[in-house]
Amino acid sequence: MANKNLNQAKNAKKDEFYTQLVDIENELRHYKEHFKGKTVLCNCDDPRVSNFFHYFSYNFEQLGLKKLITTCYKNQNRDLFSQNDSEQAIWLEYYGDRNGNRVPDPEEIGIHYFKGDGDFRSQECIELLKEADIVVTNPPFSLFREYVAQLMKNEKKFVIVGHQNAIHYKEIFPLIKENRLWLGYGFKGGAAHFISKYEDTATAGDHREGMIRVSGVTWFTNLEIQKRHEDLILYKLYNEEEYPKYDNFDAINI
């Protein structure tokens, strides 16, 4: 059922669901050493609703960030659950707390207006991407391939949310194989509750008001994490019968 939710969302290009702060905290606690002196970009994030913006602005000093850039997409379709209904897409820059209260105040946040709609593929957004060291967000699932391709082309470090189905995409699997991308720690139980108004088909026990449960979501990254260096306990030997090759791909499933 939860997978059905995702497919429905993907087919209808329903990309409006928002990551919970607790899930961002749980993943990013494993990456803290990477952020010192770095410029972070969240480029699919309306700062009014994005917990990525919240996380990095409130933890700016603790992480030792240099700069936080957040870009907001002006949604063209008002029917979707979106707060992105401002007339113009905006982007924010934040250089940390200035008045000593350890809180990102409005007057400390620089607000700029895009000429275009804030699409991550637009030239204006690509200029900001070039400035960034690490990109962290939950991008639209319907544009995941393009999103990753752009990060790779610009040689950026990243921590992003995606669906595990993406592992099989012909654009993504080679990156895993070549050690250019790997999975992060992931969500508890391999499923996440996102803040959303879409109809949730989760069973009663899993239902949370105002949320949609999506199974099979995970984090993708190219930052070094401890998990990558844990030994894999192997206990079987390869044999052709148990591990047949795919018809269309020179690989086995283990």
Ligand X SMILES: C[S@@+](CC[C@H](N)C(=O)[O-])C[C@H]1O[C@@H](n2cnc3c(N)ncnc32)[C@H](O)[C@@H]1O
> Residues in the site for ligand X, rule: CB under 6 A?
15-19, 44-45, 50-52, 73, 75, 82, 84, 118-120, 137-140, 143
Structure-token pair, residue 72:
């907001």
Sign of CA dihedral 91, 132, 118, 141: negative
> Considering the complex, what minimum distance in angstroms separates the CB of residue 41 from ligand X?
12
Identity of the residue, 19 or 222, whose beta carbon is nearer to ligand X in the bound complex: 19
Tell me which residue of 94, 113, 114, 112 sits closest to 104, measured CA to CA: 94
| Residue among 43 and 222 whose Cβ is closer to ligand X | 43
Q: How far apart are CA 125 and CA 191, in angstroms?
A: 30
Instruction: Give me the least distance between CB of 175 and ligand X, in Å please.
Output: 21
Three-class SS state of 127: helix
Q: Which residue shows structure tokens 């192997």?
A: 234
Between 60 and 144, name the residue whose CB sits nearer to ligand X.
144
Q: Judged by CB, which is closer to ligand X: 52, or 56? A: 52
Taking the complex as a whole, the smallest distance from the CB of residue 53 to ligand X amounts, in Å, to 9
Question: DSSP label at 157?
Answer: E
Q: In whole angstroms, what is the distance from residue 166 CA to residue 148 CA?
A: 10
Closest CA to 144 of 178, 124, 172: 172
Closest to 170 (Cα-Cα) out of 149, 141, 153, 191:
149
The nearest distance, CB 193 to ligand X, in angstroms, is: 12
Shortest Cβ distance from residue 146 to ligand X (Å)?
8
- Nearest CB to ligand X, comparing residues 51 and 222: 51
